[in-house]
Amino acid sequence: MTVQQMEFKTEVKQLLDLMIHSLYSHKEIFLRELISNSSDAIDKARYESLTNRIIMENAGQWKIKITPDRLANTLMISDNGIGMTKDEMIESLGTIAHSGTREFLKALKERDLKENPELIGQFGVGFYSSFMVADKVTVISKKAGIDVPPVLWESHADGTYTVGEGDRKTPGTDVILHLKADEKKYLDEWELRNVVRKYSDYIEHPIVMDVEKEKDSEIEKGKKFKVTEEETLNSQKAIWLKDRSEVTEKEYHEFYRHISHSFDDPAKVMHYRAEGTSEFTALLFIPSRAPFGIFYKDFKLGPTLYVKRVQIMDHCEELIPPYLRFVKGVVDSSDLPLNISREILQANRHIDVMKKNITKKVLDALSEMKKDEYEKYLDFYREFGKVLKEGIHYDLSRKEQVADLLLFPSTKTGAGTLTTMEQYVNNMKPDQEEIFYITGSNTDEVMHSPYIEAFREKEIEVLIMLDDIDDILMGSLFEYKGKKLKSVVKGDVSLDSEEAAGKDRGQEKYGRLISVIKEYLKEDVQDVRISGRLRDSACCLVTGEGDIDPKMEKILRAMGQDVPAGKRVLEINPGHPLIESMSRVLQQDEKSGILKDYSELLYNQALLLEGSKPKDPVAFTRAVTKIMVEHVKQAS
């Protein structure tokens, strides 16, 4: 195999530059990441060995070995895992195949790495952290189970790397770090022990190192001699198999940080054993901070799945619904076969039972946190509320249970205060039959919206929904505790009998004007009618009950989606001076050209009030200017 020199992909070059030149205060996590990669490689080999005898015969005892060499100034991390072929090595070490790579690199630049070291591990680029402590990295790997020569990969992080034939007899991988002059502390036995204990104590496979010890001589009493022995540095505790009473809070938090690549404590720990139709043990964590990339399609979700303590897969997405994808942890089953495949998982009865059980446990834990630890739940909701509410749309059987967990600002909550749907229903007026809500970009904007004028006057609370998907979700929820949800920007509104009577009187008084406006705007609006929601504003645009929310329509169009064009209803305020003035003009001269100008101005004003641009900004500006000039003439 000839040696090839190749260039890193652009995003890898950027990542390496950030790693090397950042003042990074957690450099020691390079060892955590390399050990984690070795552990994953062993898990894959062990799983493959269940059906491939060759891998089992060549493996021996699964282990990860750390070898410091002071003379060569190198630190080697070796494993007897699955190994890599040449193509796999180029793909794994030369590129970053994530949909959120650009955003990830932006986050690394914007967020201080010293405060957010978990970004490296969470994004799966931990190997590159090696270059924080090494000026050259050599990787030698031999693929298990197939007869291909070992591969040698090497780079100085100068934008290029070389790939050629390596020298390794058995399957597995050696990562050799040629340490920088000021990073020699990572050759010290004490330092290596400390880092392993701090970050990798719960790795299931033994992490070993040759250690020099003194022993008493059996031949010459009173004398000692030195001997080098392989010593295991980690405890290898299967913490999830212990009884809850045997595990301390500190141990839970350390294990969470190990599996989540986080430096924070979890918001909630769930450790239990399920018995009955499907027996399994689960140790699950609700994080306190959202991991990077949680909204990207290639975000890895689901707890690690073990069968009788053998790891089957790192992220078993079949065990948890996508709207709970923030949950981290381990599930160990006693019922599943060791050789279960992902295809079989999708149609397995035990998996379905486990998923239902886990989902219920997580939702119950969140409900308990909301009730008993509201401030903590508030912090959780700010991080994960947007993810959690997806359950309303995707889990119809539990949509009301998910709705119970949601928090919203409203027209009656103070600044920074949130309410729930249950509280809203409990505070509804005696004759109120609907839960009213409005979508928007921010609370201040919504509080000045013309759509809530009548609701504020009559002291009817309106929930404020600020996430892009809220209108779709409320359509899926449809009702809560028997009360139908209604958007205040859709359909007709009559808040009481008095309001309905007022609309009838307005329709009778301005019927002729409405017909004229409708004729002038027939290309733009579906209908013109008297409004039951306006008090101070002259007009607004309203969509049909089943139509898409204007805010969502803009988002879909910005994403390139083909959204069918639909006309809306223009509502006018019968109590506004402008409408009264237009009516007088109509009575004086039915063919007055100013009525056409005013009608178009009404429509464009309604567009502006909802946050849209005027239909024709130039024509709109000219019309406004014309009216201003006429007003000035009359005033003078």
Find the mean pLDDT for residues 478-493. 91
Residue 504 pLDDT greater than 50, yes or no: yes
Task: Give the span between the Cα atoms of 304 and 40, in whole angstroms.
Answer: 11
Min mean pLDDT across 13-22, 239-248, 609-618 is at 13-22
N- to C-terminal Cα separation, the chain: 93
Q: Which residues on adjacent β-strands are paired with residue 153?
A: 139, 163
Q: H or E segment at 152?
A: strand 151-155
Highest-pLDDT range among 159-173, 493-507, 545-559? 159-173
Residue 29 pLDDT greater than 60, yes or no: yes
Q: State the amino acid at position 563 in one-letter form.
A: V
| 4-231, CATH topology level | Heat Shock Protein 90 (3.30.565)
User: Listing from the earlier edge strand, what are the strands of the sheet with 525-530?
Assistant: 525-530, 568-572, 539-542
Contact status, residue 230 vs residue 61, Cβ threshold 8 Å: no
* Other residues' Cβ atoms within 10 Å of the Cβ of residue 256: 23
Residue 140 pLDDT greater than 80, yes or no: yes
Residue 66 pLDDT greater than 70, yes or no: yes
pLDDT of residue 440: 87
Residue 110 pLDDT greater than 60, yes or no: no
pLDDT of residue 23: 44
Q: State the amino acid at position 214 in one-letter form.
A: E
Contact status, residue 534 vs residue 571, Cβ threshold 8 Å: yes
Please, how many CA atoms are within 13 Å of residue 455, restricted to the half-sphere of its CB?
27
Task: Give the span between the Cα atoms of 567 and 543, in whole angstroms.
Answer: 8
| Sign, Cα dihedral of 43, 44, 50, 52 | negative
Task: Give the span between the Cα atoms of 115 and 29, in whole angstroms.
Answer: 13
Contact status, residue 124 vs residue 37, Cβ threshold 8 Å: no
Find the mean pLDDT for residues 189-216. 88
3-state SS, 464-493, equals: EECCCCHHHHHHHHCEECCEEEEECCECCC
Task: Give the span between the Cα atoms of 201 and 90, in whole angstroms.
Answer: 30
| Sign, Cα dihedral of 500, 504, 505, 510 | positive
Name which residue leads in pLDDT, 563 or 607: 607
Q: Which of 292, 283, 289 is nearest to 255 (CA)?
A: 283
Residue bearing tokens 């282990």:
63
Task: Give the span between the Cα atoms of 173 and 41, in whole angstroms.
Answer: 9
Residue 119 pLDDT greater than 70, yes or no: no
Q: State the amino acid at position 155 in one-letter form.
A: S
pLDDT of residue 610: 82
| 509-635, CATH topology level | Four Helix Bundle (Hemerythrin (Met), subunit A) (1.20.120)
**How far out from the chain centre does Cα 157 lie?**
31
Residue 555 pLDDT greater than 60, yes or no: yes
Find the mean pLDDT for residues 14-36. 75
Q: Name, in order, each residue with C-beta under 8 angstroms of 336's C-beta and a sequence gap of 6 or more.
A: 307, 312, 348, 350, 351
Q: Helix (H, G, I), strand (E, B), or coil: what is residue 148? A: coil
* Other residues' Cβ atoms within 10 Å of the Cβ of residue 304: 21
| Sign, Cα dihedral of 448, 450, 455, 458 | positive
- Across the chain, mean pLDDT equals 86
Task: Give the span between the Cα atoms of 312 and 129, in whole angstroms.
Answer: 27
The tens digit of pLDDT for each residue in 427-444 reads 998 889 999 999 888 898
The tens digit of pLDDT for each residue in 251-294 reads 999 889 888 878 789 999 999 999 877 889 999 999 998 887 78
Q: State the amino acid at position 324 in one-letter form.
A: L
Q: Helix (H, G, I), strand (E, B), or coil: what is residue 600? A: helix
Contact status, residue 395 vs residue 333, Cβ threshold 8 Å: no
The tens digit of pLDDT for each residue in 505-522 reads 888 899 999 999 999 999
Give the CATH class of 408-487. Answer: alpha beta
Contact status, residue 34 vs residue 126, Cβ threshold 8 Å: yes
The tens digit of pLDDT for each residue in 313-361 reads 888 899 999 999 999 999 999 888 766 666 667 778 888 999 999 999 9
Task: Give the span between the Cα atoms of 588 and 591, in whole angstroms.
Answer: 9
Please, how many CA atoms are within 13 Å of residue 204, restricted to the half-sphere of its CB?
21
Residue bearing tokens 């970053």:
96
Which of 134-158 are b and which e, b meaning 16 or more Cβ less than 10 Å from the residue's Cβ? bebbbbbbbbbbeeeebbbbbbebe
Q: Helix (H, G, I), strand (E, B), or coil: what is residue 78? A: strand
Min mean pLDDT across 122-136, 236-250, 481-495 is at 122-136
Indicate the domain borders of the chain: 4-231, 239-380, 408-487, 509-635
pLDDT over 90 percentage in the chain: 47
Any idea which architecture 239-380 has in CATH?
2-Layer Sandwich (3.30)
What's the residue count for the chain?
636
| Sign, Cα dihedral of 387, 393, 395, 401 | positive
pLDDT of residue 558: 67
Task: Give the span between the Cα atoms of 17 and 131, in whole angstroms.
Answer: 9
